[in-house]
Amino acid sequence: MVEEGKRLRRIKVVALLLLIVGLIYGYRWFKESQYRIVTDDAYVTGDMAPVSPLRVGTVVAVHASETDYVKKGEVLVTLGAADADLELEESKAKLEESVRKVKAVRAKVESLKAKVELMNAGLAKAVAEQGRRANLVKERAVSQEDYESANERVVKARLLHRMASHELGESLALAGVGQVEYHPTVSAAIQRVKIAYLNLRRSEVIAPVSGFIGKKKVAPGQRVTPGERLMAIIALDSVWVEANFKENKLKNLRIGQPVQLTSDLYGSNQIFRGQVTGIGAGTGSVFSLLPAQNASGNWIKIVQRAPVRISFDRDELVAHPLRLGMSMRAVIDTRDRSAMEEVPEAPSLSTDVYDYQIDGAEELVEAVIEAVDE
């Protein structure tokens, strides 16, 4: 009886402990676990800005290596510039020639205006002389031959005046109006100079954004063409996590919900704070290279996964940098299930370094035009 009593007490203690453990887990599930969805199928991803030449050329120098950190606008690759130099010099010579021709035509216009005025005066004199001869021939004070000669001089003066006016009109059309650089011929030559100048500046391949060099595949002596990828730049301060959740876990998922992230690199002690910024429009099977064809053959149901984009806190990334492709564990708190109308603004990756490559072209054009005046 004593042994049976002890055994009964042990069973009660174990049952009580199990009840307590069950209550604890039940309470935690009620307060937290039911609102959490977790996945280990999550990886760091980000934008890789390609570095490509903007003109055909031969690589003469490479100024960056794998894993180097480069700043936006820094020269990464230099192309041979001999052909671009020749192109620029040729365009400058054509611009100078165009300016000289326009100035010569405009100078000719002034002389033709004087000539037309002279022809106009000669015509007026011939017409007046013809009028006097017409009156005198009626009184037989001059011969009919003198009168006819006066008529011929009027006809000749009109013809010369018409020819001079026509020549003046042609020269005015060629000369144009306004400053010489606005003349169509000169303007076209100016554009050719700017294009040649820009082509020369593009002998230096520059970094479009700041970041770390990766996938470098360029060497001196290599012939490159526009659009060819020479290397990539990864901006590690603007990475995000792509977490793949099973479709039966997405019911309560909303944009804007908070996320706790841990990485294999730093371990569970370092928690990154994140936020859901987007949910994929389709599962991985839809965007795969060979989408599943479930309408043929035997069919086996497979739970699909949908990608969820999660943003990082920028300050935490600076303190604890991550690399693309690293494994992450994502825990999303779905307690707030109110749908957001607007997606939180994601950091934009943009560049303006190519806008400044044309700087200096205007000064070069002005120098060429001023050289013609000297």
Question: In this model, does residue 177 exceed pLDDT 90?
Answer: no
Using an 8 Å Cβ cutoff, are 111 and 132 in contact?
no
Assess whether pLDDT exceeds 80 at residue 89.
yes
Report the distance separating Cα 244 and Cα 54, nearest Å.
38
Place of tokens 């760091």: 44
Give the residue-averaged pLDDT of 221-249: 90
Residue 278 pLDDT level (bands cut at 50, 70, 90): confident
Tokens of 89: 């010099």
β strands within the chain, DSSP E:
36-45, 48-51, 57-62, 69-70, 75-79, 204-206, 211-214, 223-224, 231-234, 240-246, 258-263, 267-279, 305-312, 327-333
User: Is the distance from CB of 277 to CB of 343 less than 8 angstroms?
Assistant: yes
pLDDT for 341: 46
Least confident of 11-20, 250-259, 276-285, 322-331: 11-20
Report d(CA 157, CA 164) in Å as an integer.
10
Helix, strand, coil percentages in the chain from 3-state DSSP, rounded to 5 = 45, 20, 30
Average pLDDT value for residue range 270-274? 91
**Tens-place pLDDT, residues 312-349:** 888 888 888 888 989 999 998 888 777 564 555 555 66
Strand partners, 38: 331
Hey, which of 204-218, 294-308, 313-327 has the most confident mean pLDDT? 204-218
Q: Angle formed by the axes of helices 184-201 and 361-373, to 10°?
A: 130
What is the average per-residue pLDDT within 63-71? 92
pLDDT bin (cut points 50, 70, 90) of residue 97 is confident
Please report, rounded to a whole number, the percentage of residues in the chain having pLDDT higher than 90.
28
Q: What pLDDT, on a 0 to 100 scale, did the predictor assign at position 43?
A: 94
Please, which pLDDT band fits residue 85 given cuts at 50, 70 and 90? very high
- DSSP label at residue 118: H
Assigned token pair, 338: 């109110």
Q: How far is CA 256 from CA 35, 311, 334, in A?
A: 15, 10, 10
Sequence-distant (6+) residues with CB within 8 A of 175 are 102, 105, 106, 108, 109, 183
What is the rounded distance in angstroms from the CA atom of residue 181 to the CA atom of residue 353?
28
- The rounded distance, in Å, linking the Cα atoms of 192 and 365 is 10
pLDDT in tens, 129-173: 666 666 665 666 656 666 566 667 767 777 777 776 676 666 655
* Residue type at 332 in one-letter notation: I
Asked if 309 and 47 count as a contact pair (C-beta separation under 8 A), the reply is no
Is the separation of the CB atoms in 331 and 257 below 8 Å?
no
Q: Encoding tokens for residue 327? A: 């494994």
| Domain ranges (residues) in the chain | 86-178+366-373
User: What per-residue confidence (pLDDT) applies to 86?
Assistant: 93
Average pLDDT score, the chain = 80
Cα–Cα distance between 244 and 250 in angstroms, integer? 10
Return the structure tokens found at 122: 């000669």
Q: CA 127 to CA 124: how far, in whole Å?
A: 5
> Encoding tokens for residue 335?
């307690």
Contact status, residue 214 vs residue 198, Cβ threshold 8 Å: no
Candidates 28, 124, 43; CA nearest to 308 is 43
Q: Is the per-residue pLDDT at 75 higher than 60?
A: yes
- The more confident residue out of 122 and 195 is 195
Identify the weakest region by mean pLDDT among 102-106, 187-191, 252-256. Answer: 102-106
Q: Is the pLDDT of residue 359 over 90?
A: no
Angle at the Cα of 238 from the Cα atoms of 246 and 261, rounded to 5 degrees:
40
Q: Burial of 338 by CB count in 10 Å (0-12 exposed, 13-18 middle, 19+ buried)?
A: exposed
Question: What are residue 240's phi and psi, to 5 degrees?
Answer: -145, 175
